[in-house]
């Protein structure tokens, strides 16, 4: 029996085609066993959401902003709302490569707040925060403050300014890399909605009211992002009525700092009107990523849309596996990892979330939907992990595929049938 086994083994070793097939089978089984089904999905064309399930999360929260610090290669969040308890006064950073959240809280920080605006200034390597609100039974305070955060020294600095926008909540602001300015638009205070456009220069520590001749209507809960390839700020949605309830709109605007011009580029196909959704720009794919938000009845949506400013086209890319519908979350694009990171938010019943999700758009152009209907999605299992295939595994796969291809070509030339010897 042992003699037959040895002879069979010698024949297998001599057959390179069979060896390559066996290697491929072993690799597939090994990848499935170690990384799960989501890894096989990650080898496809993209357009996938993955629940990262880190071992440590910031506490559940809403009404905060997330930004990407390019130099540190970290996602940064600050404070936010904890319903029935209060607000957090903490700073956290997230590293996609290690799937770790780190509490960066220090002694000198802005007071706890919600619904502030925040953007990362790449040229100055600072995260800039403006305003936000403290709401209590007998108080409504919109802080008229500008702060900056330096990740390297883990320090917040109060930027004392003589002139700046009035205090407000649920405005939005983004960093215009081409002009090295932070652009702010809209928001509201206790009884006033704003439609003003401001630009902040970190180097001179100066806010300037741009007062363009045409601009979007007064609103809050809209979202903006900066399209680097087109050198334009993109704005979508928001509410044009003071809460509550909101009156959502579905218009798309672009802003050019160099010409100080807003242009309404609304098309017939776009996400439904929404408030407190998320918007970010994928630099690798040159696409704007949209997720979530609530409608006029504060019913959350769980759709993922892509916007291409070059063609002025919105495309519904909602995959089967997506985060459960939410609003008032924080989302930012991690340029080094080519992933959009989503954290927190609240459900329809205002219960808060502490999930971390990663979206990989890549450059896939699969089937697109022109409809904006929302389909409820089941959340991915909390055991989902980042999917990475070791370089050695990839090298073995490439070698085995190469052997397989060469053997098939040789067999074809010899006009002989494939058979196991």
pLDDT of residue 13: 43
In CATH, the number for domain 48-360 is 2.120.10.80
The encoded tokens of residue 232 equal 């334009």
Distance CA 88, CA 420 (A): 66
The burial class, CB within 10 Å (0-12 / 13-18 / 19+), for 29 is: exposed
User: Rounded to the nearest 5 degrees, what angle is found at the Cα of 374, between the Cα atoms of 268 and 314?
Assistant: 30
pLDDT of residue 151: 98
The burial class, CB within 10 Å (0-12 / 13-18 / 19+), for 419 is: exposed
Question: Which of 246, 303, 242, 306 has the alpha carbon at shortest distance from 272?
Answer: 303
Q: How many CB atoms lie within 10 A of CB 21?
A: 16
CB of 26 closer than 8 Å to CB of 32: no
In whole angstroms, how far apart are CA 377 and each of 149, 302, 403?
A: 36, 7, 42
Helix (H, G, I), strand (E, B) or coil at 282: strand
pLDDT of residue 28: 44
Domain spans of the chain, in order of start: 10-36+393-413, 48-360
Residue by residue, DSSP assigns 177-220 as: TTTTEEEEE--B-SS-B---EEEEETTTTEEEE---SS-PPS-B
Angle, helices 16-35 vs 391-413, to 10°: value is 150
Strands (E) across 71-145 are located at 74-78, 81-82, 86-87, 91-95, 100-103, 117-121, 126-130, 133-136, 139-142
The distance from CA 219 to its chain's CA centroid, rounded to whole angstroms, is: 23
Residues of the chain with pLDDT under 50: 1-14, 21, 25-44, 364-404, 408-409, 413-421
Distance CA 9, CA 172 (A): 67
Question: Which of 68, 63, 137 has the alpha carbon at shortest distance from 96?
Answer: 68
Any idea which residue has 């299992």 for tokens?
A: 381
Distance CA 290, CA 286 (A): 13
In whole angstroms, how far apart are CA 280 and each of 145, 222, 223?
A: 24, 12, 9
pLDDT of residue 410: 53
Side-chain half-sphere exposure of 276, counting CA atoms within 13 A? 28
Helix (H, G, I), strand (E, B) or coil at 15: coil
Side-chain half-sphere exposure of 416, counting CA atoms within 13 A? 9
CB of 10 closer than 8 Å to CB of 18: no
pLDDT of residue 6: 44
State the pTM of this model: 0.77
Question: Which of 330, 420, 320, 337 has the alpha carbon at shortest distance from 380?
Answer: 320
pLDDT of residue 23: 52
Residue 194: which residues within 8 A CB-CB, separation 6 or more? 165, 166, 168, 171, 186, 187, 188, 218
Characterize the bridge pairing of strands 126-130 and 100-103.
Answer: unpaired
Question: Between the CA atoms of 302, 174, 353 and 252, what dihedral angle is there, to the nearest 10 degrees?
Answer: -20
Distance CA 314, CA 368 (A): 10
């Amino acid at each position: 029996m042992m003699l037959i086994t040895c002879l069979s083994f010698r024949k297998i070793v001599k057959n390179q085609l069979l060896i390559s097939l066996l290697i491929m089978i072993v690799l597939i089984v090994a990848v499935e066993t170690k990384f799960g089904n989501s890894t096989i999905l990650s080898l496809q064309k993209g357009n996938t959401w993955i629940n990262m399930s880190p071992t440590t999360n910031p506490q559940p929260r809403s009404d905060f902003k997330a930004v990407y610090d390019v130099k540190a290669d970290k996602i940064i969040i600050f404070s936010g709302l904890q319903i029935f308890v209060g607000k957090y006064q903490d700073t956290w950073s997230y590293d996609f490569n290690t799937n770790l959240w780190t509490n960066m809280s220090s002694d000198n920080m802005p007071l706890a707040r919600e619904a502030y605006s925040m953007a990362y200034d790449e040229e100055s390597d600072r995260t800039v925060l403006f305003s936000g609100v403290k709401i209590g039974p007998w108080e409504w305070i919109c802080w008229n403050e500008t702060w900056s955060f330096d990740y390297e020294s883990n320090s917040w600095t109060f930027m004392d300014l003589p002139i700046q926008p009035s205090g407000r909540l649920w405005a939005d602001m983004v960093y215009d890399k081409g002009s090295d300015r932070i652009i702010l638009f809209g928001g509201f205070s206790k009884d006033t909605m704003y439609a003003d456009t401001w630009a902040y220069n970190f180097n001179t520590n100066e806010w300037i009211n741009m007062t363009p001749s045409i601009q979007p209507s007064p609103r809050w809960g809209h979202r903006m992002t900066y399209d680097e390839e087109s050198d334009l700020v993109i704005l979508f949605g928001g509410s044009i009525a003071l809460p509550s309830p909101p009156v959502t709109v579905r218009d798309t605007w672009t802003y050019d700092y160099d010409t100080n011009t807003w242009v309404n580029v609304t098309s017939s196909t776009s996400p439904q009107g929404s408030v407190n959704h998320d918007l970010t720009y994928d630099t690798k794919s040159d696409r704007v990523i949209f997720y979530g938000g609530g409608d006029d009845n504060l019913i959350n949506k769980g759709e993922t849309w892509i916007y291409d400013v070059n063609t002025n086209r919105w495309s519904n890319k909602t995959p089967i596996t997506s985060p459960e519908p939410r609003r008032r979350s924080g989302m930012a694009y991690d340029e080094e990892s080519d992933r959009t990171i989503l954290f927190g938010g609240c459900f329809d019943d205002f219960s808060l979330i502490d999930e971390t999700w990663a979206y990989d758009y890549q450059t896939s152009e699969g089937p697109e939907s022109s409809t904006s209907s929302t389909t409820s999605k089941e959340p991915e299992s909390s055991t989902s992990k980042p999917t990475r295939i070791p370089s050695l595994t990839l090298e073995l796969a490439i070698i085995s595929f190469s052997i397989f291809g060469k053997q098939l070509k040789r067999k074809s030339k010899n006009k002989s049938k494939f058979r196991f010897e």
